[in-house]
Structure 1
C-alpha cells in the first residue's frame, strides 16, 4: 500500500518504480513509512521552534541505512539508486532530518570511506553505522564558501600530533557530533589535509561550537560555527588519502549526487500537497482542480518532477558504471535545485494564503529548498563545474594547491 501512494498521485508518471529491484523497493518503502509515521506528524513543531529532535536518532539507527553504499564495517552496502531514493524520501518527509542524516552518512562517513585507511575505517565506521557516534563535516569557513579551496584554517605538525587553528561555519551536527572531519591547510606544504576530531566525554581542548540561529530554512537541523584554538590531533587521525583539495573534491562530487535527489523529494512533497488541496478546495462553487489554470500549473509541475527523476535515475546508472563526472553531478544538482524550488513555489501559489502555514507542509519545503539551492555548491558554482567540462577552461580562480 505504501508503494502505491506516489503512483496514486501521479508522481511516478513514467513508471520508474518498475525498474527497481526488490531490495531497492523495500528500502524505499521502509524509509517512506518511517517518514509518514515518525517525521511528518511532528517535525513542523521542531522546525518552528528551531529545535533538533534528538529522540529521532535511535529510530534512524533502527532503519540500518547509515553508510548507504559503503561495503563492510557494519554498513548496508546499498546500491547507488537505493541511496538516492533514501535521500528523496527523507526530503519528502523532512528536509532538516535529511540534512542531518546526509551530513552523518554521506559527508562524514563518506569522507572516511573515500579518504581513510583500512585501519581508520575499522576504527570509526562501525560505530557510525550504528549511529552510536554521530559525524560532522567541517570544510566551509566564515570567509570561504564557494571558494573553499582558499580555506584559511591551518594545520601545523608537531611531532606525532597536528595543531589546528581556524574557524568553520555552517557545520551541520557540529555542536553535538562525536566525530568531526576538519579540513585545514598544512603550514609545511600549503596543501589541504583532512583530520578526524574525536569528541570524548570531556570534549576537545581548544574546540568550541556555537549554534547558528535566525535561519529561514532547515531550522530543525543545527549548524554551528566552530572555533579551533591550538587543537591537538594525533597524527593517526590525519586521513591518509586527504592531501590536496582534489581529494576533498572527490567527496563533494559524490555527495552532490545525493543532494540532487533531495530536490526531487521536496518537489514531490509539495506537488502531492497541492494536488490533494486542489481536489478538496472549492472556489466559486467548484473544485479548484477543475480550473484550467490550476491544471496547467499541476501539469507543468509534474513534468518538471518527471524530468528530475529521469536525470537522477540515469545518474545512478552512470555512477554504478563508474562513469559519473563532476560535471554530471553538478548538472543534476543544479537542475533539481532550480526546478525543485520552482515546483515548491508553484505549489505554495495553488494554496493561496494557506500555502504559508506550516500545517499544509509546503511552506517548510519551499523554505528548505532555498537552502538546497545554496549548499553543496551554489547554482553558479555548479554551472562553472559543468562549464569547465564543456569548454576545458577553468573559470574559477586558480587553485592555491
Structure 2
C-alpha cells in the first residue's frame, strides 16, 4: 500500500520515515478511515467505547510498536509519533486508548518491570488479550503526585496491601490489569504494582457526564485492602523518578496526539469551507476564512516540526524532561487555538457532531490537561532555563 504525506503535513515530515514504517502507517490510515471514522461520532455521543476495534488495532501492530519485545520491525520514535498522529486525526479518544494501553500500561512494565514481568505481560498487552490501565492520578493529587500521593502500600510477608483511590483512570472500566502507583508506608517511596482488576477490594466506577473524550472510559478506582503478591510489584520501580521515566516517554506522544487532533479539526474545516456556500460562493473563497485556515496550518506545521525533532532526540538518547515538556505545552496550546479556529470556520454548524469539528473541539480540552498541564510543563522548562524551581 502506497504512502503519501498528508496534505496537512505541509513540509512532508512523513517522508522522513523508513519504507517499512510508511507501509505500516498507510495500512493504519486506511483502516482508520474506513472502520473508525464512520463510527466515531456515534460512539462519542453515546459515551461508549467500540470494543470491536481492539483486535484490529492489535493486528495492525498499533498496540506493540513501542517496545523491543513485540515490535514487528525496527521502528523509530518518529514513527511511533506518527501512529499517534494518525489515530488522533480520526479520533482523539482512540489515540488516548492506545496511549494508555501501549504507552502507560505496557510502558510501565517495559521500563520498570523485571525480565520475567516483561516476558509475561507485554505480549499479552500487545495482542489485546489483556487490556491495561495506568493508576497515578488521585482525587486530591494530580500535578503534585510526586509528593502528594495518598494511596499506600504496606508490605506483609510476600504480599502488599494497597489502600487508597484513583481518579480519571482511562480504560479502567474494562481493563484486566491496572498499574497502581502507591507510596510505601515503610520508606515513603512511590512503587508500582500490576493489579488484576478482579482482585477483591478493587472497584472501578465510570465517570459520567464528561464533555471531552467521551469515548474514553475514565473511572474512579477504590482500593480497599487490595492484596497483591510481591511478584506483581514492578521490580525496578523504587521511587517517583521511575514513574517519571515512564511519563517522559509518553508525554511527547501526547504532543503528537495534539498535532493529530488539530489536523483532524483543520481537515474537517477545509472540507466544510469547500462545500458551504455564502454570498454566492463557497466560503473557502473568502479572505477571512483563508486567514483562519492558514493560521491553523501554521500552528500544525510548527508543532509537527517540534515533535519530530523531540522524537529524533529520543531515538538518539538525547531527550530530557524539559524537551518533552516544551513539546507537550506548545503543541497542546497551538491545538487549542486551531480547533477553535476550525469551529469558527464552520459557524453554527461547528457545534454539532455532524461535521466532526465539534468533537475535536471538545476533545482538545482533555489533551490540553492530561499527562501534565501546560502550567506544570512550563515550570519544568522554566527550571531548566533559570536553574530555579518555581513549582510552589
Once residues 12 and 80 of structure 2 are traced to their aligned partners in structure 1, the CA distance between those partners, rounded to angstroms, is 19
Shift of 1:214: 0.7
Residue 21 (str. 1) matches residue 6 (str. 2): no
Give the alignment partner of residue 91 of structure 1, picking from 57, 81, 88. 88
Q: Which runs of 5+ in 1 are unaligned?
A: none
CA-to-partner distance for each residue in 1:118-157, whole Å, 9 max, x for gaps? 1110111111111100110000000001111111000000
> Is the Cα–Cα contact under 8 Å of residues 186 and 192 in structure 1 kept in the other structure?
yes
Once residues 21 and 71 of structure 2 are traced to their aligned partners in structure 1, the CA distance between those partners, rounded to angstroms, is 18
Shift of 1:74: 6.2
CA-to-partner distance for each residue in 1:20-51, whole Å, 9 max, x for gaps? 21122112212211210111101111100101
Q: Greater shift after overlay, 77-86 or 228-237?
A: 77-86
Give the alignment partner of residue 180 of structure 1, picking from 178, 181, 184. 178
Give the alignment partner of residue 140 of structure 1, picking from 137, 143, 168. 137
CA-to-partner distance for each residue in 1:236-286, whole Å, 9 max, x for gaps? 111111111111110111100100000110111111111111122111112
Specify the alignment match of 1:81 in structure 2.
Answer: 78
> Is the Cα–Cα contact under 8 Å of residues 167 and 226 in structure 1 kept in the other structure?
yes
Give the alignment partner of residue 113 of structure 1, picking from 90, 110, 118. 110
Q: Structure 1's 27 and 225: CA in aligned 2 closer, same or farther, altered over 3 A?
A: same
Q: How many residues align?
A: 391
Specify the alignment match of 1:190 in structure 2.
Answer: 188
Q: Greater shift after overlay, 278-287 or 249-258?
A: 278-287
Residue 6 (str. 1) matches residue 19 (str. 2): no
Shift of 1:71: 0.6
TM-score, normalization: structure 1? 0.95
Give the alignment partner of residue 234 of structure 2, picking from 239, 251, 257. 239
Specify the alignment match of 1:151 in structure 2.
Answer: 149
The alignment partner of 2:38 has SS state of: coil
Once residues 73 and 17 of structure 2 are traced to their aligned partners in structure 1, the CA distance between those partners, rounded to angstroms, is 17
Specify the alignment match of 1:368 in structure 2.
Answer: 363
Residue 269 (str. 1) matches residue 264 (str. 2): yes
Q: Structure 1's 258 and 5: CA in aligned 2 closer, same or farther, altered over 3 A?
A: closer
Once residues 37 and 313 of structure 2 are traced to their aligned partners in structure 1, the CA distance between those partners, rounded to angstroms, is 32
The alignment partner of 1:164 has SS state of: strand
> Is the Cα–Cα contact under 8 Å of residues 69 and 122 in structure 2 kept in the other structure?
no
Once residues 254 and 74 of structure 1 are traced to their aligned partners in structure 2, the CA distance between those partners, rounded to angstroms, is 16
Specify the alignment match of 2:162 in structure 1.
Answer: 164
Once residues 369 and 80 of structure 2 are traced to their aligned partners in structure 1, the CA distance between those partners, rounded to angstroms, is 21
Q: Structure 1's 41 and 73: CA in aligned 2 closer, same or farther, altered over 3 A?
A: closer
Shift of 1:2: 7.0
Once residues 74 and 205 of structure 2 are traced to their aligned partners in structure 1, the CA distance between those partners, rounded to angstroms, is 34
Shift of 1:77: 5.3
Q: Structure 1's 218 and 329: CA in aligned 2 closer, same or farther, altered over 3 A?
A: same
Q: Structure 1's 60 and 353: CA in aligned 2 closer, same or farther, altered over 3 A?
A: same
Shift of 1:110: 0.4
> Is the Cα–Cα contact under 8 Å of residues 261 and 364 in structure 2 kept in the other structure?
yes
The alignment partner of 1:97 has SS state of: helix
> Is the Cα–Cα contact under 8 Å of residues 69 and 77 in structure 1 kept in the other structure?
no
> Is the Cα–Cα contact under 8 Å of residues 5 and 13 in structure 2 kept in the other structure?
no
Give the alignment partner of residue 40 of structure 2, picking from 40, 43, 68. 43
Specify the alignment match of 1:321 in structure 2.
Answer: 316
Once residues 74 and 26 of structure 1 are traced to their aligned partners in structure 2, the CA distance between those partners, rounded to angstroms, is 15
CA-to-partner distance for each residue in 1:156-212, whole Å, 9 max, x for gaps? 00000000000000011112111210000001000001111124xxx2101111000
Aligned-residue RMSD, C-alpha: 1.4
> Is the Cα–Cα contact under 8 Å of residues 67 and 76 in structure 1 kept in the other structure?
no
Give the alignment partner of residue 377 of structure 2, picking from 370, 376, 382. 382
Residue 100 (str. 1) matches residue 119 (str. 2): no
The alignment partner of 1:137 has SS state of: strand
Match runs of 1:55-74 below 5 Å: 55-73=52-70
Shift of 1:4: 4.2
Match runs of 1:215-230 below 5 Å: 215-230=210-225
